[in-house]
Amino acid sequence: MLETLRQPIENGEVMIARANAHVKYPCKFMLVAAANPCKCGYLSDPERACARVPQCGEDYLGRISGPLMDRFDLRVDVPPVAFTDLGLPASGDSSAVVADRVAVARQVQATRFAAHPELRVNADATGDLLEEITQPDAEAQALLARVAEKFHLSARGYHRILRVARTIADLDGADVLHKRHIAEAVSFRLASPVDA
């Protein structure tokens, strides 16, 4: 069932096929998914994990195919919160500060795509336009090349990293993709640490 999401995620359309007709419908959506790290849910806790670690986690997450995982732009591991940390004050920026930063980045993207009314955000850019808006500097390009080689990125994965890096750069107020933007985009995609 999950595999049927692959094409709508990729091109924003869903195809309904019947005996006498094929109909395409627009289907742009944001997919947010969550999964436990393994069947028991305690993969990272040596005191509570089952006896099958790490194979348990590999088997459990292995139910999601590589091509489907390749279509997720962001993958974030959320470790459990220690009981002693529950009473600590919140850290980081407030929601209002983050919302302001996002609004500015969305305005940058609206200006960028003003000549392309069918596009609204960086995630919509493809082909030559994607290359035009995601020009990394030399250090960023070198990092991306190392990551692509080391982790055998697909073309889809490579382009998704560029789109995410472009959005990170927009949030940072940068016109050019720098090494830090590529490194952050890669960190959202790969579980293994990257030599930045």
Instruction: Please write the tens of the pLDDT for every residue from 28-87.
Output: 888 998 988 888 888 888 888 888 888 888 888 888 898 999 999 999 888 888 888 888
pLDDT at 192: 44
Mean predicted lDDT score pLDDT of the chain: 90
Helix axes 179-187, 155-172, angle to 10 degrees: 120
User: Residue 63: which region, alpha, beta or left (left: phi > 0; alpha: psi -120 to 50)?
Assistant: alpha
193 has pLDDT over 80? no
For 71-102, write each residue's pLDDT tens digit: 999 998 888 888 888 888 888 899 999 999 99
The predicted model scores a pTM of: 0.86
Q: What are phi and psi of 50, to 5 degrees?
A: -75, 175
Residues ≥6 apart with Cβ < 8 Å to 139 = 178, 179
* Cα angle: 142, vertex 147, 151; to 5 degrees: 155
Domain ranges in the chain with CATH number 1.10.8: 113-187
Q: Which fold has domain 113-187?
A: Helicase, Ruva Protein; domain 3 (1.10.8)
Q: What pLDDT does 191 receive?
A: 60
